[in-house]
Structure 1
């Protein structure tokens, strides 16, 4: 085996342990965001209902687009990174022929729904907004089941979203251009939290 070099850095013990633990489980998926390996829980039934609800709203207001569930995206321009997003709003055929990890070109919005695990704060509220902004995705929608809120990140500039608006479940949520729709009945999201 060749020695580790600057071109082939050694994997940290923490990274190895994450991979080993995840490989032994069927209830998680691996992601590589911001140069770090992450473990993402497989969605539960309520999580799926939130994505279904969003798909329905998007189809009603933007029939020219589709909310692709569990889409793999290459999310980092300067470092290697892959994320399996809960939803990616894009025109039909955007991901045709691209394989498991697709380009973010054509993606208007990504959606994440928090999971009930210890990494959701770091993963969904810190690392993913940075990665999605860096990739130039216009809108990042976070449905935060822990906090009972919906947060809209928009206007990506230099690796951060310039505008971040958080609304409690039950209040209308405006998804700005290029999405251009308002989620009116967010009160229903209360039905999908523990």
Structure 2
């Protein structure tokens, strides 16, 4: 019988927020599962993918805003801090919120994979668990390594993660379910991978 040791937190959320507020703009810090993580600075293709998604969302859902660099309180009991590449929410939803907003009201979080060693753990495992546990309806993962778009929906607040997972290859059309209800033609994403 294998016994899993409970992971102890590296620091308190307050200590993390102090460190994150002093970090230079060239570094993005996150705090998930009690561990501090560093997100790689985005490259031009990464930024272009987020811009591509912004245009698609604004064309089909002008009532929503796609926020970039909005920090969210995630993880069990909101003790984690994540900075998704984008957060889709009602227009002006995060106005007046601080650096780390409550995720209630966020309709979709988006991550675009970076070419670094932490992408697998962070974007494919830890973040779907944290976002689902936070009740965010949709997690959209644009995975440049595998050339796929993964739509996670049906969040599981008890366990974390999502009940429904749809994977499509770049070039296919992807339906993002309610409450977003948009279709994405991902053909253009083939141009933004190594």
2:163 is the counterpart of 1:162: yes
Partner of 2:193: 193
Which deviations, in whole Å up to 9, do the C-alpha atoms of 1:130-163 show, x marking residues without a partner? Answer: 0000000000000000000000000012212000
Alignment of 1:1-194 (within 5 A): 11=10, 27-78=26-77, 80-157=79-156, 158=158, 159-184=160-185, 186-194=186-194
Shift of residue 96 of structure 1? 1.2
The Cα RMSD (Å) is 2.0
Q: In the aligned structure 1, how far is the partner of 2:9 from the partner of 2:120?
A: 27
Which deviations, in whole Å up to 9, do the C-alpha atoms of 1:98-118 show, x marking residues without a partner? Answer: 111111111000000000000
Structure with higher Rg: it is 1
Q: In the aligned structure 1, how far is the partner of 2:9 from the partner of 2:139?
A: 33
Tell me if structure 1 keeps the 8 A contact 2:9–2:35.
no
- Structure 1's unaligned 5+ residue stretches are 1-8, 13-19
Q: In the aligned structure 2, how far is the partner of 1:79 from the partner of 1:91?
A: 21
- Normalised by the length of structure 1, the TM-score is 0.85
- Structure 2's unaligned 5+ residue stretches are 1-7, 12-18
Alpha-carbon spacing, 1:11–1:102, altered in 2? closer, same or farther (3 Å): closer
- Normalised by the length of structure 2, the TM-score is 0.85
Q: May I ask how many residue pairs the two structures share in their alignment?
A: 176
